Amino acid sequence: MNPPLRVAVTGAAGQISYSLLPRIASGAMFGPGQRVILQLLEVPVEKAMKALEGVAMELDDCAFPLLAGMELTDNARVAFRDADWCLLVGAKPRGPGMERADLLKDNGAIFTAQGRIIDEVASAEARVAVVGNPANTNAMIAASTARRLPAERFTAMVRLDQNRAQTMLARKAGVDTTAVTDIFIFGNHSPTMFPAFEHAKIQGQPAATRIPDRAWLEGEFCEKVGKRGAAIIAARGASSAASAANALVDHVRDLCTPGAIHSVAVPSKGHYGFAPEVWAGLPVRTTTPGSYEILTGLTLDAFAQSKIAATNKELVEERGMVADLLG
């Protein structure tokens, strides 16, 4: 067996982590042959640390064969030390009536501090996945503080949006979700994101052939994918947690699977008209475990270009709002 992977998870006593940690410990993220050590970070508040103890007790009670150890801490240096993967979940969620960007003031600073510490103490091969909102911009903030780890190692999650879009296309076409492929998310994890239906396939055929309703694809479909997070907050009274945890499992598992093609928010480098310095959801192909290349050469019609321009504008504005936090 391989040596255990060290997986740091922040916000480990929160809602998402409650669904996430058992999936990591059961092998869903890194595979059935890979042991893991969970390095769990919470805020230095008695209630949070007590809750974290309870979570760890439950993980113990699962007797997971792959769980090789757990460390519970309120010290980021301890949590990120030698970590192979740093899963940055810990941050404030939005409530009803808020946009994710409204969280920037509260959450942005978390990522300056954690990015710097990860860069100092994590494994030389460390990968970072950001979930805390606004995720794209938080990943950019964390990466900006790093001097040792390359920016490409810092990704943010748009996989929940991809999964939502996949299910919506499948429902509309009356097929199983597995019949829908190549649905990619471009841009911000916000209502401006663009689920690029023109490249999607349903049972191998262009989605627009199987769903010959351009008005629905451009209108209701894009809007519902973009606003799904708010719809869940309205229904549940709290932001998505189980589906977010599931999406993070998909995000990391596919980043560890050479050949996998999926949507990840990465430094755009100017592809598809995004400003080079923003973190944009883009289609990528995993090359070697933890590394990827951006899929290039996908055609974008005038509608797609206008959607990308709008989501890029928002990302550039968010970057401007956090200029003082960038390292």
Smallest gap from residue 138 Cβ to ligand NAD (A): 8
Minimum separation from the CB atom of position 259 to ligand LMR (A): 27
* Shortest reach from residue 103's CB to ligand NAD, in Å: 6
Among 5, 6, 9, 15, binds ligand NAD (CB under 6 A): 15
Question: Does residue 240 belong to the site contacting ligand NAD (CB under 6 A)?
Answer: yes
Q: Binds 232, which of ligand LMR, ligand NAD, none (CB < 5 to 8 A, cut-off by type)?
A: ligand LMR
189 has catalytic annotation: yes
262 closest CA partner among 239, 295, 307, 222: 295
User: Which residues are within 8 A (CB) of 247 and not within 5 positions of it... i.e. 6 or more apart?
Assistant: 157, 159, 160, 162, 163
Residue 241: contacted member of ligand NAD, ligand LMR, none (CB under 5 to 8 Å, by partner type): ligand NAD
Shortest Å distance, C-beta 91 to ligand NAD: 4
Neighbour count for residue 76 (Cβ, 10 Å): 21
Structure tokens at 241: 């947690």
Q: Which residues contact 57 (CB under 8 A, 6 or more apart)?
A: none
Query: Which part of the chain contacts ligand NAD (CB under 6 A), choosing from 11-19, 267-275, 298-306, 309-317?
Result: 11-19
Please give the residue ranges that form the binding site for ligand LMR (CB under 6 A). Answer: 93-94, 100, 133, 160, 229-230, 232, 239-240
And the tokens for 184?
A: 């990619």
Binding status of residue 93 toward ligand NAD by CB under 6 A: yes
From 189, 199, 251, 271, the catalytic residue: 189
First to last CA, the chain: 39
Contact 22, 62 (CB under 8 A): yes
Which amino acid makes up residue 145? T
When the beta carbons of 43 and 298 are compared against ligand NAD, the nearer one is: 43
Per-residue binding string, ligand NAD, 105-144, x by CB under 6 A, is -----x--------------------xxx-x---------
d(CA 279, CA 140): 6
Q: Which of 36, 40, 64, 90 binds ligand NAD (CB under 6 A)?
A: 90
d(Cα 78, Cα 67) in Å, to the nearest integer?
18
Buried-state track 199-222, b at ≥16 Cβ within 10 A, e below 16: bbbbeeeebeebbeeeeebeeebb
Q: Looking at the annotation, which residues are catalytic?
A: 189
Query: What does the binding site for ligand NAD look like in residue numbers (CB under 6 A)?
Result: 10-11, 13-16, 41-43, 48, 89-94, 110, 131-133, 135, 157, 160, 189, 239-241, 244
